[in-house]
Structure 1
Amino acid sequence: MKMNAKALAPVAIMAAFGLGTLAPHAQTAPQKIGFVNVQAVLSAQAAGKELADIQKKADTELGDLDKQIKAIDAKGAQATAADKDKRTQLVTTIQAKAKAYDAQIAALQPKITAAEQAANSAIGSVAKQNGVSIVMDSGVAAQGLVVYAEDSTNMTDAVLKAVK
């Protein structure tokens, strides 16, 4: 039996395709993932501590004023004219104090930006030293993004040392 080139062409194409799928392919190395508690890194720096102090003071002071406003609101129709005047004063006070706290935080913003840059630099440096190609914020990851991670993937302590 004599085979001509036209008859062998489909067989040759299928054989080439079959051999191509069997050839070994380069596999990429697995990527290491690390986790860092970014909030802890920021809070450990001077600007983070200042910000936390301002926020704590604001929460306490504004929270007390808000409770007083809610107590008057709870009276509803039984609120007296004096209660309504007091509520108006409280609202004005809370708005003024909130504005003052916002101004303090705005004045602190350059220090916060520098702290964020230092944290990012330290995270990148520690990640490279440990061969980590992806770093996730453990605070965000713990909210359902990641179900399980080994403790060895947590780089927070190393980043805290690097940032200081």
Structure 2
Amino acid sequence: MSKNWLFVVMLLSLLLGGSLIAQNRTTPTRIGYVDAEKVVQAHKDFKKVQDIRNQAERELKPLRDQLQPLEAKLRAGNATAKDQQDYRVLAQSLQEAGKKWSDRTNAALKPITEEIDQVIARVAQQQGFAMILDKKVAATSGLVVYAADELEITDAVIKALPK
């Protein structure tokens, strides 16, 4: 009986002692924000994304320019059968080209955003933040109505980006 009692006492002391130690650790509770778009634009590889977007615009603009007068004819009810066919073909071409360029842009952005996410996490931990929100998403969604300037870590993240 005394061995069981000793075991129970030791078990209780371990459980209580462990919970007291766990309570002594501070858990960050600060919530901050970052202008993700500004950080992405500051990344060393963002020029590649801009180049892809410029190429896309050069390819897509002529298609849009050809579609505009056909669309106006369709709306006005003056489109011939050939105009309608041309519109469908051009609209399909624009959609396919847009998807191609969107995929290329996303592929170029992916490694940039993954690296930025890691930098944000590191900066947030160093500065004692539990959570970081995207400034524009939080503001436009109505999720955040007010945030103090000192909670923004955009500049710190940009400084921490690899050169």
Question: Same-fold call, TM > 0.5?
Answer: yes
* Structure 1 unaligned regions, length at least 5: 1-25
Partner of 2:36: 38
Give distance in 2, aligned partners of 1:41 and 1:31. Answer: 24
Residue in structure 2 matching 1:125, options 122, 147, 150: 122
The two structures, once aligned, show a CA RMSD in angstroms of 3.0
- Unmatched 5+ stretches in structure 2: 1-22
User: CA distance change for structure 1 residues 96 and 68 in 2, over 3 Å: closer, same or farther?
Assistant: farther
Cα 1:56/1:142, change in 2 over 3 Å: farther
Question: Which residue of the partner structure matches residue 141 of structure 1?
Answer: 138
Displacement after TM superposition at 1:92 (Å): 4.2
- TM-score normalised to structure 1 length: 0.65
Q: Aligned-pair distance for 1:65?
A: 4.5
Q: Secondary structure at the match of 2:132?
A: strand
Percent identity among equivalent residues? 33
Aligned to 1:74: 75
Residue 129 of structure 2 aligns to a residue in which SS?
A: coil
Query: Which letter does structure 1 place at the counterpart of 2:112?
Result: A
Output the CA distance in 2 between the equivalents of 1:123 and 1:70. 45
Q: CA deviation at 1:135?
A: 1.0
Change (3 A) 1:51 1:142: same
Q: Determine which structure has more spread, i.e. the larger CA radius of gyration.
A: 1
Q: In the TM superposition, what are the counterparts of 1:2-41 in structure 2 within 5 Å? A: 31-41=29-39
In the TM superposition, what is the alpha-carbon distance from 1:44 to its structure 2 partner?
Answer: 2.2
Aligned letter for 1:153? L
- CA-CA distance at 1:30 after TM superposition: 7.0
The alignment covers a number of residue pairs equal to: 135
* Structure 1 residues 82 and 114, CA gap change in structure 2 (3 angstroms): closer
- Per-residue Cα deviation, 1:72-105 (whole angstroms, up to 9, x for no partner): 32122x2224423432442243244224424533
Instruction: Report if aligned partners of 1:65, 1:94 keep a CA contact under 8 Å in 2.
Output: no
Q: TM-score, normalised to structure 2's length? A: 0.65
